[in-house]
Chain A
Amino acid sequence: MTTLASGGLTSGVSAPQGGLKRIGSARWRKRNLTFDKITFFLVFLIIPVAFYIAFVVSPFVQAVYFSLTDWTGFTPAMNFIGLSNYGKLFTDDTFLQAMSNNILMAIVVPIVTLGLAMFFATLVTVGGSTRGNIKGLRNSSFYRVISFFPYVIPAIVIGLIWSQIYDPSAGLLNGILTRLGLEQFTSFAWLGDPRTARWCVMFVIIWGLVGFYMVLFIAAIKGVPADVFEAARIDGAGRLRTAISITIPLIRENVQTAFIYIGILALDAFVYMAALEPGGGPNNTTLVMAQQLFTTAFTKGQFGYACAMGVVLAVITLAYAGLVFAVNRIFGGKSEVGE
């Protein structure tokens, strides 16, 4: 034991000096592949990679494979049918509609949520009085706590609360509107009218997430030295100018991350929909791909087809992330922030 440990120590010291240059050469292997190094590889590299492969990569690969079969999901048997599930997918009106609903949500929800979150974060951190130190509005910590509340509630509960608020006969919203004398909203089905349903569910998602992203942006803005804002103010920049020219460029990486997170959520949205519009909404205007996938798999017993939907959803999500990176790069993100 002692000999092993000491041998490990000496080789550990010598390794960075020159051995790694010729990785894979016989000499390197002989000299450096000690017990310590092997256990190090094992614990920090091979085991994590094995876990990653077993629990992340393999289900994904499996899903891709299943998407090429006619598996029903309830038997061990399946036939390989090539790409015909994908062919069916792109002629399936319902799925295509779900896809376009998702894409619309992935455009609207991030822009509105992050726009609002940025607005509030600016007010709370640097939007206060223009005299004295840079500070937020009065009582800003109170607003910060309040606006974080919705995020503390689980998404499914948010969905259930809002489905009650939107209730045509007994809901709070119509109660207030009719009390105000707007008689046309008597029994108006917010979640049941194709004109309003999708905006109503998007509003709920935005309502639930603004607080979280606001806190995220506040943390980012707090990381920017106050003298930068002071300098901008001395140069005569107003609040809007400061936000656009100083705040956003300096917290660019946070905004990008936020965009990706919320975009993935908007492309999923399953939980909110399960509470608000379990049936896909009026004329399927709120149907999302995840819902369609779920029904196809468990109600219709077409797991192979459902896996194809899952693959398409994953590809769209990756494409979305790629798009966010690309946009950030086009607007000069790379030149300012290192790796």
Chain B
Amino acid sequence: MEINTRPLARRDFLRGSLAAAALAATGSLAACATSGTSSSTQSSSAPAGQVSDTNPFGVESGSTVDAVIFNGGYGIDYAEFAGQQVQAKQSGVTVKVTPVTKVAQTLQPRFVAGNPPDVIDNSGAGAIGINTIRDQLAELNDVIEAKNYEGKVIKDTLYEGVTEPGTFDGKFIVLNYALTVYAIWYSASLFEQNGWTVPKTYEEMLALGEEAKGKNKYLFGWGKEAATYYQTMAICSAIKEGGDDVRLALENLKPDCWSLPPVQDVFNGLKKIIDAGYIKPGGAGTVFTASQAQWSDGEEFLLQPSGGWIENEMKKQTKSGFKMTGAPEPVVSSNSKMPWEALHSTAGEPYVVPSQGKNVAGGKEFMRAMLSQEAAVNFAKTKLASTIVKGTVPSDGFGSTALQSQIQMLEAAGSNVFSWNFVDLYGMNTDQLVVWNSFLSGDSDVAKLTKGLQDITDKVAKDDSIKKVQVS
């Protein structure tokens, strides 16, 4: 008896204390990860410093600006440069630039604690879904209405339509800094050697594929993480063909939006190229940078749909004499709603200012510095990419053919510039990659592709827990 009761009693004691503690934990500790809510202050809205023409947001002297910058393709040195500009213009203000690679993971606890940084470059694969935090961001209208360091109103110095991708339900909350031009990239030197011309329709692409085959090359190639570059190309072609109707149907997640005739025409055009064997096989198992090197270094295929960052991305893996040049995506027919020259261009590197930050004025001042001449020129020169500020790239593109062609394409497009948000906004890319990888591999057909994409769209559209953005 005695032997039995002893250990039991001790264990009961242990169990009892565990259970009690667990109960206590549900009550008090469950609130732990989300505590510190009530203390988050609204101090930010009222400027602490003196508002003047040279200090339009009233940054307080002696304050610190906490800038968290995505350390990706563009690095962080351009942001540090802008930070120095702020420090030079606003005496006593210190700018602290912190690099991050996984923005969402790193900053999530700070958002919950009500202590986010003053300005964030929310970019890269680990970016925070903008839909998740858009209620917590400051409106940035006053930034572009302010005067830059040269005394010009910032709004007048920007390219057309660059604030649109950052505007949600009428609120301008995301300032996309780098101008990104989407295009089909090719080697102008290789095309010249072989007497090839840039294809303007899917029919012409098919014909070019035949010629490429004669030279033992493929027309396209892809990597598993970048299969949706072809979706970007396809949507772009479909919008040129069908105009705004197509864009709005997709943006607003309409039922059967992927079955619209212009979209289907593009898919069928692509399917012909795939069936003809003009796409380098094996992409679904290839890392995308390896695939891109097969294009820029191996010249195994001719055309690479991508954004303007590709030059910087492949800098070390580009064959010498490879004149990287961009061309607009092809159209389907000669009577498309928009001309071939129409361009899918948007601004990338989304900068946001959380409204709960300690120094909102400082965050805005940081952006003002970035949008001023010196910092913008510095970015274009060191990154070989244009910012949203006009006139920072000379006609020789700092010696880069890709940058030259970007500026030429923008000029040719004029006001026919468009973009869309729904893929990134609702985080659909991961799901869409699956469908596109199997389509490009030749394992599925247009009907399966359409159904797959429509299912992904419908799933988001029907999910009430996801806030939707109405686009018009």
Task: Determine the residue in chain A with the shortest Cβ distance to B463.
Answer: A88
Please name all residues of chain B whose beta carbon is closer than 8 Å to the beta carbon of A189 when the two chains form the complex: 281-286, 441
Please name all residues of chain B whose beta carbon is closer than 8 Å to the beta carbon of A45 when the two chains form the complex: 14
Cβ of A284 within 8 Å of any chain B Cβ, yes or no, is yes
Cβ of B61 within 8 Å of any chain A Cβ, yes or no, is no
- Indicate if the CB atoms of A192 and B282 lie closer than 8 Å: yes
- Indicate if the CB atoms of B441 and A193 lie closer than 8 Å: yes
Given A23-B9, A53-B25, A75-B112: A65 and B30 interface contact (C-beta under 8 Å):
yes
Cβ of A49 within 8 Å of any chain B Cβ, yes or no, is yes
Interface residues in A44-72 (C-beta closer than 8 Å to B): 45, 49-50, 53-54, 57-58, 61-62, 65-66, 70-72
- A-contact 0/1 string along B280-316, CB 8 Å cutoff: 1111111100100010000010000000000000000
Among the listed stretches B169-177, B206-214, B431-439, which one makes contact with chain A, having 4 or more residues with CB under 8 Å of it?
B431-439
Task: Determine the residue in chain B with the shortest Cβ distance to A195.
Answer: B443
The complex places the Cα of A51 from the Cα of B283 at a distance, in Å, of 49
Q: Chain A, interface size: which category?
A: 35 or more
Cβ of A77 within 8 Å of any chain B Cβ, yes or no, is yes
Among the listed stretches A232-240, A261-269, A294-302, which one makes contact with chain B, having 4 or more residues with CB under 8 Å of it?
A294-302
Please name all residues of chain A whose beta carbon is closer than 8 Å to the beta carbon of B427 when the two chains form the complex: 295, 299-301
Determine how close the nearest CB of chain B comes to the CB of A16; give it in whole angstroms. Answer: 9
| Max count, chain B CB within 10 A of own CB: residue among A24, A186, A189 | A189
Contact of A74 among B6, B111, B434, B465 (CB under 8 A): B111
Task: Determine the residue in chain A with the shortest Cβ distance to B136.
Answer: A75
Cβ of A73 within 8 Å of any chain B Cβ, yes or no, is yes
Given A74-B108, A188-B282, A301-B131: A61 and B437 interface contact (C-beta under 8 Å):
no
Contact of B132 among A20, A73, A170 (CB under 8 A): A73
Task: Determine the residue in chain A with the shortest Cβ distance to B33.
Answer: A62
Given A75-B112, A282-B438: A61 and B29 interface contact (C-beta under 8 Å):
yes
- B-contact 0/1 string along A1-37, CB 8 Å cutoff: 0000000000000000000110110000000000000
The complex places the Cα of A36 from the Cα of B113 at a distance, in Å, of 41
- Indicate if the CB atoms of A53 and B6 lie closer than 8 Å: no
Interface residues in A190-209 (C-beta closer than 8 Å to B): 190-194, 197
Cβ of A166 within 8 Å of any chain B Cβ, yes or no, is yes
Please name all residues of chain B whose beta carbon is closer than 8 Å to the beta carbon of A62 when the two chains form the complex: 25, 29-30, 32-33
- B-contact 0/1 string along A153-175, CB 8 Å cutoff: 00000000001001111100000
Cβ of A100 within 8 Å of any chain B Cβ, yes or no, is no
- Indicate if the CB atoms of A298 and B104 lie closer than 8 Å: yes
- Indicate if the CB atoms of B105 and A298 lie closer than 8 Å: yes
Determine how close the nearest CB of chain B comes to the CB of A58; give it in whole angstroms. Answer: 4
Please name all residues of chain A whose beta carbon is closer than 8 Å to the beta carbon of B430 when the two chains form the complex: 279-280, 295, 299
Given A49-B18, A73-B112, A194-B443: A280 and B434 interface contact (C-beta under 8 Å):
yes
Determine how close the nearest CB of chain B comes to the CB of A296; give it in whole angstroms. Answer: 9
Please name all residues of chain A whose beta carbon is closer than 8 Å to the beta carbon of B283 when the two chains form the complex: 168, 189, 192
Determine how close the nearest CB of chain B comes to the CB of A56; give it in whole angstroms. Answer: 10
Given A192-B286, A192-B437, A298-B104: A168 and B281 interface contact (C-beta under 8 Å):
yes
Determine how close the nearest CB of chain B comes to the CB of A65; give it in whole angstroms. Answer: 5
Task: Determine the residue in chain B with the shortest Cβ distance to A73.
Answer: B108
Cβ of A94 within 8 Å of any chain B Cβ, yes or no, is yes
Task: Determine the residue in chain B with the shortest Cβ distance to A174.
Answer: B282
Contact of A49 among B21, B443, B466 (CB under 8 A): B21
Cβ of A283 within 8 Å of any chain B Cβ, yes or no, is yes
Contact of A169 among B108, B135, B282, B466 (CB under 8 A): B282
Interface residues in B24-43 (C-beta closer than 8 Å to A): 25-26, 29-30, 32-37, 40
Task: Determine the residue in chain A with the shortest Cβ distance to B293.
Answer: A170
Task: Determine the residue in chain B with the shortest Cβ distance to A16.
Answer: B6
Interface residues in A254-305 (C-beta closer than 8 Å to B): 278-284, 295, 298-302, 305
The complex places the Cα of A61 from the Cα of B28 at a distance, in Å, of 11
Cβ of A327 within 8 Å of any chain B Cβ, yes or no, is no
Please name all residues of chain B whose beta carbon is closer than 8 Å to the beta carbon of A223 when the two chains form the complex: none
The complex places the Cα of A193 from the Cα of B14 at a distance, in Å, of 53
- Indicate if the CB atoms of A76 and B112 lie closer than 8 Å: yes
Please name all residues of chain A whose beta carbon is closer than 8 Å to the beta carbon of B129 when the two chains form the complex: 299-301
Interface residues in B1-55 (C-beta closer than 8 Å to A): 2, 5-6, 9-10, 13-14, 17-18, 21-22, 25-26, 29-30, 32-37, 40
The complex places the Cα of A54 from the Cα of B14 at a distance, in Å, of 16
Given A21-B6, A282-B437: A298 and B287 interface contact (C-beta under 8 Å):
no
Cβ of B126 within 8 Å of any chain A Cβ, yes or no, is yes
Please name all residues of chain B whose beta carbon is closer than 8 Å to the beta carbon of A188 when the two chains form the complex: 281-282, 285
Determine how close the nearest CB of chain A comes to the CB of B101; give it in whole angstroms. Answer: 13
Interface residues in B75-134 (C-beta closer than 8 Å to A): 102, 104-105, 108, 111-114, 126, 128-129, 131-133
- Indicate if the CB atoms of A77 and B37 lie closer than 8 Å: yes
Please name all residues of chain B whose beta carbon is closer than 8 Å to the beta carbon of A278 when the two chains form the complex: 225
Given A72-B132, A74-B128, A76-B34: A190 and B104 interface contact (C-beta under 8 Å):
no
Given A49-B18, A282-B437: A76 and B114 interface contact (C-beta under 8 Å):
yes
The complex places the Cα of A113 from the Cα of B88 at a distance, in Å, of 63
| Max count, chain B CB within 10 A of own CB: residue among A62, A70, A192, A305 | A192
| Max count, chain B CB within 10 A of own CB: residue among A75, A78, A186, A278 | A75
Contact of A279 among B32, B105, B434, B441 (CB under 8 A): B434
- Indicate if the CB atoms of A192 and B224 lie closer than 8 Å: yes
Provide a sorted-by-A list of 24 A–B residue pairs whose CB atoms are within 8 angstroms: A21-B5, A49-B14, A53-B22, A53-B25, A57-B18, A58-B30, A58-B32, A62-B25, A74-B112, A74-B132, A76-B113, A167-B287, A168-B285, A187-B280, A189-B283, A189-B285, A192-B224, A192-B285, A278-B225, A283-B434, A284-B434, A295-B427, A298-B104, A305-B465
Closest 7 CB pairs of A and B: A192-B284, A168-B282, A301-B132, A189-B285, A192-B285, A76-B37, A187-B282
17 additional A-B pairs beyond A53-B21, A167-B285, A282-B441, beta carbons within 8 Å, are: A21-B5, A23-B10, A49-B14, A53-B25, A57-B25, A62-B29, A62-B30, A65-B30, A75-B111, A187-B282, A191-B224, A192-B441, A193-B284, A193-B441, A279-B433, A300-B466, A305-B465
